[in-house]
Chain A
Amino acid sequence: MKTPQALTLSRVFPANAFESDKGRGRVWSKLRRDKAGLLGLVIVTVFLLLSLGVLFGWLGQGWSIADGGRWEPMSVNHWLGTNLLGQDIFQRAVFSTRTAFEIGLAVSLLSTLLGALLGALAGWYNTKLGGNWVDGSILWLMGVLDSIPFYLFVAAVAYALQGWPWAMHVAMIVTFWTTTGRLVRAEVMRIKSRGFVLSSRAIGLPVPVILIRHVLPNTLHILLVQASMAFVAAIKTEVILSFLGLGVQDSVSWGMMLAESTQEVLAGHFNNFLTASFMLFILLLGFNLLADALQDAFDPRQASL
């Protein structure tokens, strides 16, 4: 909530005047008061620790061992029962945390990076009168990528690069960057006429240095929120691609477990389905809450909406 004083001030000095107090301290203190956001942070941290445990070989290592019977119920040996092949569902669910973070981090980091760079370039070279070829072609590329039905495109990329373990990641990175790109472009167009940018141009810094050292750090609030949203989108898309048979290879993921379960549930075996759904839901909820809290903390104008 804005105080009456801030309201009057914001009328006198609209928007930009408050940029100076957009410091880290204020963001963090706002984040700390956001209970839902903290819950999100806790959930994400727990899952991150879990995935590190898998990465270092402490957890979930028995995911592919088929030492149980088909569809065993819960027991001391197999905490959440076994699947069709007699593999331990608990182990598989835990191991999948690592898969989820691999996909989520790779896709969200790279797509955000790509969006930041191309968006900043487009915004920098935008002349408002139109006609600059850099801005024009980046905009055109975004328009083209957004006009192709998403799943069809991802499926086609994943299929064209089939057999290559990163096909799915590439498909998602190539499509996910456009949203970040548009937002960064708009923000760069806004800040490129501000004092610090003009002065760095005046002292003759080369464009890449200005963009990377001075302009992009000021879009960090967009990048953080977009990255956490891309993480959610990546994991959700992995589920769909796994169901369509284009997902991870030689590994296990919650999407693969759900795809397996589509046949099992009709025969009344729900352990695979419930376990994977639960893990997936909690992690996505955590990331969504975190993304919301970040958005609120960074962007008071949006937050008051």
Chain B
Amino acid sequence: MRIILHNIIHGLLLILGVTLISFLLMVWFGPDQTYTLIGKNATASQIMEVRHELNYDQPFMRRYLDYLVELFTLDLGASNSSGEQVNSILRRTLPVSLALMLPGFIIGNLLGIVLGLIAAFRKGTWSDRLITGLSVTGMSISFLIIIIGLQVLLSTPYGLNLFPVRGWQVEDLSSYLAYVTVPTLSLILVTLGYNTRFYRAVFIEESSREHIRTARAFGASPATLMWRHVLKNSLVPITTRIMFSIPLVVISGSLLIESYFGIPGIGKVSFDAITSGDQPILKAVVGLTAVIFVLIQIATDFIYRLVDPRIS
């Protein structure tokens, strides 16, 4: 009970920190929208009025506290530039981002686990060396290069010309597949090197444990050894990595992919919000990501305690 309470206090402090830093950065030092909202030749009183509407005339603490209240009541206000409610923007863009990122995220992790298992199992052989060599190569290629390269190879007349160049007009399964393939392949390629390396290290660490040696001595077949003993006992680091990378991949990854392919998801919306100074959107995206992140942290910790009695 004390530990749970401790976790919750810890989580609240983290949320406070994240919201404070992002508020300072994106709102207090962020772009001033006064002059984009009013036209030329505004009078002093008009300027004051707009600044008042945007809450620019309030003191720092007041604006920050208002922000926290908005966040916890999920009353996020309306976008400055389009006037649309932030809640409805999130409801519109989040499914797009999830549909865009999840296939690549899942396949990238599964492939990483499979390749990591193969490499760990055949440690030191040529297949291990091939897999680790390819991982390092993959880690050395920039995300942007992969995206441009795949786009040229798969969606232009200079390559196979199979998929649409950019955009997101999804109506049914076939159009979804058409638009999602190139971004998914890019995401898999860019994460596969890191994933494989990480999982390989996890599996090798696990297979050097005593209980694996005992199982081997008792004549467990290589397949049972890998599947039942190594993979199952590595579930804790695997789930940690997956849980923690979800919010980061969905937001950070979609920022680039969506800006590049012109897909109306949460990444593009938040990037546009940074450059146009659309504070309600920014505050919502950063604040909610932080909250989700902290909740995941608390939940993971809690699950471990349930699953693994050794953790105390």
Residues of A within 8 A of B (CB): 140-141, 143-145, 147-153, 155-157, 159-161, 232, 236, 239-240, 243-245, 255, 258-259, 261-262, 265-266, 268, 270, 273, 277, 280-281, 284-285, 287-289, 292, 305
Contact = CB atoms under 8 A, between A and B. Distances in A.
Nearest to A242: B144
Interface stretch (B25-33, B106-114, B232-240): B25-33
Contacts of A160: 25-26, 29-30
Interface stretch (B39-47, B90-98, B147-155, B174-182): B147-155
A145 B22 CA distance: 10
For the residues of A in contact with B, the DSSP-based class is: helix
B274 A159 contact: yes
B251 interface: yes
A261 B148 contact: yes
Contact of B136 (A157, A258, A285): A285
B30 A152 contact: no
Given A152-B270, A244-B271, A292-B136, A239 B26 contact: no
B86 to A, nearest CB: 16
B274 A155 contact: yes
Contacts of A262: 144, 148, 260
Interface residues of B, number: 50
A155 B17 contact: no
Contact of A289 (B22, B136, B145, B271): B136
Contacts of B286: 148-149, 152
Task: Give the top 7 A-B pairs by smallest Cβ distance, nearest first.
Answer: A144-B17, A284-B140, A149-B251, A285-B140, A160-B29, A151-B252, A147-B293
B117 interface: no
Given A148-B18, A261-B148, 9 more contacts: A144-B17, A144-B18, A147-B290, A149-B247, A150-B252, A243-B144, A262-B260, A280-B142, A281-B142
Interface string B129-165: 0000000110111111100110110001010000001
B21 interface: yes
9 contacts: A148-B289, A150-B252, A152-B252, A159-B30, A240-B144, A244-B259, A262-B148, A265-B152, A305-B201
Given A156-B26, A160-B30, A140 B148 contact: no
A155 B273 CA distance: 11
B271 A281 contact: no
A137 B250 CA distance: 28
B289 A288 contact: no
Contacts of A240: 142-144, 256
A148 B14 CA distance: 10
A148 B21 contact: yes
A157 B256 CA distance: 17
A79 B151 CA distance: 26
Contacts of A305: 201, 204-205, 208
Interface of B: 13-14, 17-18, 21-22, 25-26, 29-31, 136-137, 139-145, 148-149, 151-152, 156, 158, 165, 201, 204-205, 208, 247-248, 251-252, 255-256, 259-260, 270-271, 274-275, 282, 285-286, 289-290, 293-294
Nearest to A284: B140
Nearest to A289: B136
Given A243-B260, A285-B136, A152 B148 contact: no
Contacts of A152: 251-252, 255, 270-271, 274, 285-286, 289
Contacts of A161: 29
A149 B145 contact: no
A287 B256 CA distance: 24
A224 B260 CA distance: 35
A243 B149 CA distance: 15
For the residues of B in contact with A, the DSSP-based class is: helix
B223 to A, nearest CB: 22
Contacts of B17: 140-141, 143-144, 147
A71 to B, nearest CB: 14
B205 to A, nearest CB: 6
Contacts of B260: 243, 262
Nearest to A258: B144
A240 to B, nearest CB: 6
A148 B290 contact: yes
A156 B274 contact: yes
A236 B143 contact: yes
Contacts of A232: 139-140
Contacts of B256: 151, 240, 243-244
Nearest to A151: B252
A150 B248 contact: yes
A245 B275 CA distance: 10
A143 B286 CA distance: 15
Give the interface centre of A160, A245, A289 by most chain B CB atoms within 10 Å.
A160
A43 B18 CA distance: 40
A244 B258 CA distance: 11
A198 to B, nearest CB: 28
Give the interface centre of A157, A161, A266 by most chain B CB atoms within 10 Å.
A266
B255 A155 contact: yes
Contacts of A148: 18, 21-22, 286, 289-290
A239 B142 contact: yes
A239 B144 contact: yes
